[in-house]
Amino acid sequence: MSVWAILVAAGRGERLGLDRPKAFARLGDEPLLAEPLRRLDRSPWIDGIVLVAPPGWEEPAILLAEEEGCGKVHACVAGGETRSDSVRAGLAEVPADALVVLVHDAARPLVSDEVVERVLAPLSEGWDGVVPGLPVGDTLKRVGSDGAVQETVSRDGLWTIQTPQAFLVDTLRRAQAGVADATDCAGLVEAVGGRVKIVDGDPRLLKVTSETDLETVAGWL
Ligand code: C5P
């Protein structure tokens, strides 16, 4: 079984307020992208990697992969306007004979082999896609634009979803062809009737969106 990873790193990361894209924000002593790239490259579960870089940043991304000795990176392409566009650009570079694809946000640097193994395992049991998640712990309320609470929403059965997300390559290609957009790849697969399973995620798969998140993740390194 050949497993390919698409590492999407083309977000602008405007909320960080930096002069460079989020993938090149400093995490400890390195650009943020180095951490997830190295982790995926060293994973025994992964055979090849497609890196999706911010437009204009393909060369620094390739240089970084070389510096880190990431020999599994087979292609580096520019991302698109939305995350879905970036995944699409990455998927186009995944070879036709690949069986499984793992899509991962570079903004979640601390991807582990354990979670990769957890999302891959159910694919051999007939699931079309597998996503890591965490059950919602906080109380949920619907709030109007005036700040008034409208209702308390039951959190029964609600999960927050992370990456890496795993799919049979053909399933994801078909879902992409059939649906215009979704907030994550699993959403595309669900929209064409695919069965998606949840496995335990990891609080350390926090998505970096703010300076505080960067500090939190740096503290976990
Ligand atoms: O924007 P958001 O935080 O949801 O991004 C999640 C992941 O998707 C990040 O790793 C980001 O780099 C990537 N992304 C992308 N292309 C975009 C937008 C986001 O590759 N146009």
For residue 208, give both structure tokens.
């970096």
Average confidence (pLDDT) over 78-98: 96
For atom 4 of ligand 1, the residue with the nearest CA is: 83
Q: How confident is the model at residue 1 (pLDDT cuts 50, 70, 90)?
A: low
For atom 19 of ligand 1, the residue with the nearest CA is: 11
Q: Is the CB of 216 under 6 A from ligand 1?
A: no
Mean pLDDT (the chain) is 96
Residues 109, 217: contact at Cβ < 8 Å? yes
**Regarding beta strands 159-161 and 73-78, do their DSSP bridges make them parallel or antiparallel, or are they unpaired?**
unpaired
- Cα–Cα distances (Å) from 141 to 15, 133, 150, 153, 221, in that order, read 25, 20, 7, 5, 34
d(CA 41, CA 138): 35
Say whether pLDDT at 208 is over 90.
Answer: yes
Average confidence (pLDDT) over 171-200: 91
Q: Is the CB of 207 under 6 A from ligand 1?
A: yes
Average confidence (pLDDT) over 153-173: 96
Q: Is the CB of 9 under 6 A from ligand 1?
A: yes
Q: Is the CB of 105 under 6 A from ligand 1?
A: yes
Q: What is the model's pTM?
A: 0.96
Average confidence (pLDDT) over 171-181: 88
| Spatial CB neighbours of 65, under 8 Å, sequence gap ≥ 6 | 37, 41, 51, 73, 76
